[in-house]
Amino acid sequence: MTHPHPEASDSDEFKGFNEAQRLMWCHEARARVYERFMQTGFIDDANVAAVHVDNTSRADRVFLVAFDMAGQQVGVDTLYTDEPSQVLDITPEFDHDYTGMDVVPDSQLGQAISRENGWVVNLKVLREYEPSADRRATQRAVFLAHLQDMMKNGDVRGFLFGRGDSDDTDTA
């Protein structure tokens, strides 16, 4: 992760802000991967188990190669990256290594992975992704990260969690 203001990252003064910024960048990356894959037919194709994302060969496009459960190629697509906001950088939550996806040894997918020119999306995990639930969870996490700074600065001394319409509200 890069910090636009390195001096702020070396200090605990903006610890909550820096954490909130990291959380937002991660959310944006997950949402971008999901949105860009929705532009392909891979999410709806039950035969596709994984997609190799070649994001290193060309700066203006991303080459996608789809694979089935046996690791055999079943499709290809290209997504153009006209703007930096369209780049498909590695998103650990969808990456085959982080999700523990099984890869058949010596398969076409295994060969694509060994070339190390991109990353592999586990389509099972991507299909289960709920953008609205992720957005809500990220908003809450960002608020809590900022709350840490506000409490430290004395801007906040107490708060209530809950919707305010019931008796089961937590007080901190």
**pLDDT tens-digit series, residues 36-57:** 999 999 999 999 999 999 988 8
Quick one: CA dihedral 146, 149, 154, 160, positive or negative? positive
CA distance 95 to 74: 19
User: What is the DSSP pairing of strand 160-161 with strand 170-171?
Assistant: antiparallel
- The domain segmentation of the chain, as residue ranges, is 13-154
- Residue 161 pLDDT class (50, 70, 90 cuts): low
CA distance 135 to 97: 24
pTM score: 0.77
pLDDT of 14 over the 80 cut: no
Q: Which residue has the higher pLDDT, 106 or 164?
A: 106
Structure tokens at 20: 């909130």
DSSP bridge pairs for 76 = 65
**What per-residue confidence (pLDDT) applies to 1?**
36
CA distance 89 to 1: 12
